[in-house]
């Protein structure tokens, strides 16, 4: 297997995957829209590339493995908008292409369970845009497409601890509300397993085993820190951005059985308690 990967939209999940692959001798090129992030990407052993701003069409043909983390914009998928022809031409020679989507494509199920066979029925514009993007990628003939529908991502530097420490965290209460989550390291593990054994035209839900109300996660984070439990606020009365409020429009529990069976994937952090404990331990190790 040629150990080269093109990471388009090299963000949180892409960095976690690179941290696993670079020590194995992989050559990775990661694109970013921000000049300020170029140096940080380079420090991780990944070759940074500003895009848009650089011609990545030649790279499409050179890299047999491609990870697409860039999400759809108002006018559609940004990668396909510029690289559709190059992707279609290179598709027969590609080995693996992973597209990071979202479990938001399933819409609201009032706390019920969904899996990869559940009809797609999003209740947000973001979810609808993801469905359209998934379909556009799937329409490219011979593309070795693997779609990963991600639950709410958390991990080092992205979690509830900062707000709890600042005293700005709130336990938003909405009856029946439940979310599925996924630690970024478990995303990276699943991607690595898929790259090692491609199975084109596959779809995987990536989430932990313990969907939970958001207020429970905030409470547990405070308990781990030994800080006061943040106050409870009714959803209707909570001050939230429109984006944050939109997440509460959908309540569902996501199954991950297919990824476990098909990939041999065993989440390292099967619930938010183990994931938060690991994050706190890592923070304390840095402080020592």
Query: DSSP letter string over the chain?
Result: ---EEEEET--HHHHHHHHHHGGGT-EEEEEES-GGGHHHHHHTT-EEEESSSS--HHHHHH-SEEEE-PPPBTTB-HHHHHHHHHHHHHGGG-SEEEEEEEGGGG---TT-EE-TTSPP--SSHHHHHHHHHHHHHHTSTT--EEEEEE-EEEBTTBSSHHHHHHT---EEE-TT--B-EEEHHHHHHHHHHHHHS--SSEEEEE--S--B-HHHHHHHHHHHHT-PPPPEEEGGG----HHHHHHTT---EE--HHHHHHH----S--SHHHHHHHHHHHHHHHH-
**Segment 19-42 mean pLDDT:** 96
Statement: residue 288 has pLDDT above 60: no
Cis peptide before 83 (omega within 30 of 0): no
**Segment 52-61 mean pLDDT:** 90
Least reliable range by pLDDT among 19-23, 153-157, 243-247 = 243-247
Q: Does some domain include residue 75?
A: yes
- Where does the pLDDT of residue 287 fall: very low under 50, low under 70, confident under 90, or very high at 90 and above? low
Place of tokens 């992030």: 37
Q: Does some domain include residue 219?
A: no
Q: What's residue 286's pLDDT?
A: 66
Chain segment 234-261, per-residue pLDDT in tens? 999 888 888 888 889 899 999 999 999 9
Q: Does some domain include residue 280?
A: no
CA 207/CA 271 separation, integer angstroms: 9
Say whether pTM exceeds 0.85: yes
Question: 173 near 232, Cβ under 8 Å?
Answer: yes
Q: What's residue 51's pLDDT?
A: 92
Cβ neighbours of 21 (radius 10 Å): 22
Q: Does some domain include residue 205?
A: yes
- Residue 9 sits in which domain range? 4-158+182-209+253-269
Q: Does some domain include residue 247?
A: no
Q: Does some domain include residue 62?
A: yes
Statement: residue 285 has pLDDT above 80: no
Domain total for the chain?
Answer: 1
Statement: residue 161 has pLDDT above 80: yes
Q: Does some domain include residue 55?
A: yes
- Where does the pLDDT of residue 74 fall: very low under 50, low under 70, confident under 90, or very high at 90 and above? confident
Query: Residue 117 sits in a domain of what CATH number?
Result: 3.40.50.720
Statement: residue 1 has pLDDT above 80: no
Q: What's residue 246's pLDDT?
A: 85
Chain segment 78-116, per-residue pLDDT in tens? 999 999 999 999 999 999 999 999 999 999 999 999 999
- Tell me the pLDDT of the chain averaged across its residues: 94
> Which residues lie below 8 Å from residue 255, measured CB to CB, with a gap of 6+?
113, 114, 115, 205, 207
- CA nearest to 150, candidates 43, 267, 56: 267
Q: Does some domain include residue 275?
A: no
Cβ neighbours of 142 (radius 10 Å): 12
**Segment 254-276 mean pLDDT:** 98
- Where does the pLDDT of residue 75 fall: very low under 50, low under 70, confident under 90, or very high at 90 and above? confident
At how many degrees (to 10) do helices 214-225 and 272-287 cross? 30
């Amino acid at each position: 297997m040629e150990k080269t990967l093109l990471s388009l939209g090299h963000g949180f999940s892409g960095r976690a995957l690179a941290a696993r692959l670079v020590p194995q001798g992989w050559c990775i090129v990661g694109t970013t829209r921000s000049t300020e992030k170029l140096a940080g990407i380079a420090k991780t052993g990944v070759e940074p590339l500003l895009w848009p701003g650089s011609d990545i069409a030649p790279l499409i043909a050179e890299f047999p493995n491609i990870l697409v983390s860039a999400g759809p914009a108002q006018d559609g998928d940004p990668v396909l908008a510029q690289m559709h022809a190059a992707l279609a031409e290179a598709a027969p020679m590609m080995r693996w292409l992973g597209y990071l989507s979202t479990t938001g494509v399933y819409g609201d199920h009032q706390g019920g369970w969904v899996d990869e066979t559940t009809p797609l029925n999003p209740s947000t514009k973001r979810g609808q845009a993801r469905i359209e993007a998934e379909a556009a990628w799937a329409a490219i003939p011979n593309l070795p497409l693997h779609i990963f529908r991600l639950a709410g991502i958390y991990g080092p530097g992205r979690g509830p601890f900062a707000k709890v420490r600042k005293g700005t965290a709130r336990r938003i209460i909405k009856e029946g509300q439940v979310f599925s989550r996924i630690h970024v390291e478990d995303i990276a593990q699943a991607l690595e397993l898929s790259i090692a054994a491609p199975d084109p035209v596959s779809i995987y839900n990536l989430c932990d085993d313990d969907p939970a109300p958001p207020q429970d996660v905030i409470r547990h984070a405070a308990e781990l820190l030994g800080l006061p439990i943040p106050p409870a606020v009714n959803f209707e009365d909570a001050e939230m951005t429109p984006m944050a409020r939109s997440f509460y429009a959908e309540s569902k529990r996501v199954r991950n059985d297919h990824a476990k069976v098909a990939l041999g994937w065993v989440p390292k952090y099967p619930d938010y308690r183990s994931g938060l404990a690991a994050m706190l331990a890592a923070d304390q190790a840095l402080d020592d």
